[in-house]
Amino acid sequence: MIEIKNLKLNINNIDILNELSFDIPDNAVMCILGNKNSGKSSIFKVLTGTYKNYYGEVLYNGIDINDLSECKIDILHDTREKDPDITVNEYLNFYGSIYGKENNDEMDAYINDMLRKFSLMSYKYTSLDQIDNENYKLVELIRISINDPDILLFDNLFSSDNADFNEKLLEYIKGLIGKKTLVFASRSLNHIEGIVTHLAVLENGNLVACGKKEDVYKKAELSNKIELEVIDKMQDAVEVLKKNPDVTNIVYNDKIISFSIVANITYSNTRNQVEAAILKELVDNDIEVYSFKKQRVRFEQLFGRLKG
């Protein structure tokens, strides 16, 4: 677990972070939400040991993060190394050596496997600055996988509009849920709302809200409502939903049933899985579902309510 206590950071007489205190539990999927210059990336730089001149305590399993001998916390940066003179293979082998992995056949086989997995094999000997931003992020994922850290930090990961790429990233990340602590720094919950379990909301270096996602939503008086339309058997659908312990706040009219989910979202039981189970239950009861719409919580809405 990471414990951040009274974290204060000042660079060039500008307060970047102000007395932040929050925990990141083991195997949590946390999102640090905030606008530009809110301090998200600075928290990551403190966690990775890039910034050392901070005040307060940052502990990983009770040990000061600056005293960690191994790279237990690794980051997928928002920025990229603009080195034209190093190939993807050299780059991965270099970081492999930094992580204490020898450049041998085993390492080469691992790199090849991962490059194949992400369809990057043709880029193995391409200069690092020749690959586009999306493939660069995949190379970074391979780099981090070589390290196999306990905690992975993703700075502005889903910045691309490419749906296929985002899907590929999300699939890989879902495979890490429950095994690693994942922390995202983002301006929105796009793509990750279904997997996030904890939230920390920042504004100008101050913590606006922090805790389990449901608690933060509750604090903001928001709920993730789902609207359901069925072709017929409206009453049957309501009965099925009422019997489901994960469902609450059922409201319905002639056309639409709206409800909220109160399931205990765990690391192996993501919100998307709970929703899928509810949908399956309806279909199994011969209820023809016409539409199943999630009311997305927009960041601005959440932020406005928390500030309001």
Partner 1 sequence: MGNITKIFKRLNEVYVKQRVLLIYLIVQNTILSLIMLIFANVIISNGNINGELDYSRIRLFYNIAIILLFVIIDLFSPILLSRSLNDLYRKNIIEHLLSVRISIRDIVYAVYFRGLSTLLILLVSAFPIIVISFYFGGFGVIKMLRLLIIILSYAILLSSVCLHISTKFIDENATTIVSYVLGVALTLIILYFLNRLLNSAFLTFLYAAFCVILALALISVAKKTTIFSA
Pick 85 or 221: Cβ nearer partner 1 = 85
Tell me how many residues contact partner 1 (CB under 8 A): 28
Closest contact distance (angstroms) between CB of 98 and partner 1 is 6
Q: Which of 45, 306, 44, 273 is nearest to 177 (CA)?
A: 273
Residue 111 in the binding site for partner 1 (CB under 8 A): no
Paired strand residues for 75: 153
12 binds partner 1 (CB under 8 A): yes
* Interface segment toward partner 1; rule CB under 8 A; list 78-86, 195-203, 220-228, 251-259: 78-86
Q: Report the alpha-carbon distance of residue 257 to residue 243 in Å, rounded.
A: 15
Q: How many CB atoms lie within 10 A of CB 192?
A: 19
Q: Looking at this protein, which amino acid is placed at residue 37?
A: N
Task: Report helix, strand and coil shares of the chain as percent, to nearest 5.
Answer: 35, 30, 35
DSSP assigned state of 255: S
We find the least distance from the C-beta atom of residue 82 to partner 1, in angstroms, to be 4
Looking at residue 93, its amino acid is N
Q: How far is the CB of 75 from partner 1 (least distance, A)?
A: 5
Interaction of residue 85 with partner 1, rule CB under 8 A: yes
Q: Mark residue 32 as left, alpha or beta (left: phi above 0; alpha: psi -120 to 50; beta: remaining).
A: beta
* Beta carbon nearer to partner 1, 61 or 97: 97
For residue 252, state whether it binds partner 1 (rule: CB under 8 A): no
Decide: is 63 part of the binding site for partner 1 (CB under 8 A): no
Q: In Å, how far from its chain's centre is CA 44?
A: 13
Footprint of partner 1 (CB under 8 A): 11-12, 45, 48-51, 53, 68, 70-71, 74-75, 77, 79-83, 85-86, 90, 94-95, 97-99, 147
